[in-house]
């Protein structure tokens, strides 16, 4: 799910039509069963990979070994994931998606002032996963996940792509530093607006 910080946020959210899950037809029931099977495959592969990563570096784990561990065919693997790394990126995104779906409905002012703290709170709940990535030469996957959440697709015009890329980088810089500093509290009143003012050049501010 794309994290949107600017004016288009409300437009995009309102354009998503949410169909109620009750009163399913026969075809819908069939789809639901398929979805559950699909979720099981993803869950098995993800948990299998996390277990293997506690035993050896990610680079030494191969697809066959993971499929054996997860009880899933190679076809199922490649139907859902481009690579081993893709499993971890999708899992990181799933960890923040549920939170963001609710959080993004907040009024603008609250959204901006609480975003950093609440995002980090989500990652703190998955501290074991984060440590596993950072101790397993896979820290770059956190970056890829954050960039995927903050950026639009390849058809985005440069005028919009650059600010989004800069924002993605800024959020990643914050999260990465927070991890390096032990996943503790942020400095008081640290909000997205505060970050933006901190990185700007304060020419107007008188020297003390």
Give contact residues for its own copies (rule: CB under 8 A). 5-7, 108-109, 112, 140, 143, 147, 158-159, 161-163, 165-174, 176-178, 181, 186-187, 190, 192-193, 195-203, 205, 207
Q: Dihedral sign, CA of 104, 129, 83, 175?
A: positive
What is the C-alpha separation between 39 and 30, in angstroms, rounded? 14
Token readout for 38 is 């699909």
* Minimal distance, residue 108 CB to its own copies, in Å: 6
Q: Give 40 or 139: the residue with its C-beta nearer to its own copies.
A: 139
By beta-carbon proximity to its own copies, the closer residue of 16 and 159 is 159
Taking the C-alpha atoms of residue 67 and residue 160, their distance in angstroms, rounded to an integer, is 40
47-69 CB burial, b ≥16 within 10 A, e <16? ebbeebbeeeebeebeeeebbeb
For residue 156, the minimal CB distance to its own copies (Å) is 10
Query: At its nearest, how many Å lie between its own copies and the CB of residue 83?
Result: 12
Picking from 126, 105, 102, the residue whose alpha carbon sits closest to that of residue 175 is 126
Shortest Å distance, C-beta 207 to its own copies: 7
Q: Which is nearer to its own copies, 126 or 193 (CB)?
A: 193
């Amino acid at each position: 799910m794309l994290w949107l910080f600017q004016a288009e946020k409300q437009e995009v959210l309102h354009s998503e039509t949410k169909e109620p899950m009750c009163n399913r037809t026969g075809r819908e029931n069939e789809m639901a069963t398929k979805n559950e099977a699909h979720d099981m495959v993803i869950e098995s592969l993800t948990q299998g990979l996390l277990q293997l990563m506690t035993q050896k570096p990610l680079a030494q784990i191969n697809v066959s070994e993971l499929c054996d561990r997860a009880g899933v065919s190679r076809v199922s693997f490649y139907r859902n994931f481009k690579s081993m790394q893709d499993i971890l990126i999708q899992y990181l995104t799933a960890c923040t998606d549920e939170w963001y779906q609710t959080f993004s409905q907040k009024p603008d002012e609250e959204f901006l002032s609480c975003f950093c703290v609440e995002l980090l709170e989500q990652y703190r709940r998955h501290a074991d996963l984060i440590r596993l990535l950072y101790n397993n030469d896979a820290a770059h996957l956190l970056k890829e996940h954050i960039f995927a959440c903050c950026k639009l697709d390849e058809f985005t015009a440069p005028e919009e792509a650059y600010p989004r890329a800069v924002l993605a980088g800024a959020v990643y810089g914050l999260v990465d530093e927070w991890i390096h500093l032990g996943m503790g509290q942020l400095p008081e009143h640290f909000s997205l607006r505060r970050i933006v003012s901190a990185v700007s050049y304060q020419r107007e501010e008188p020297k003390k």
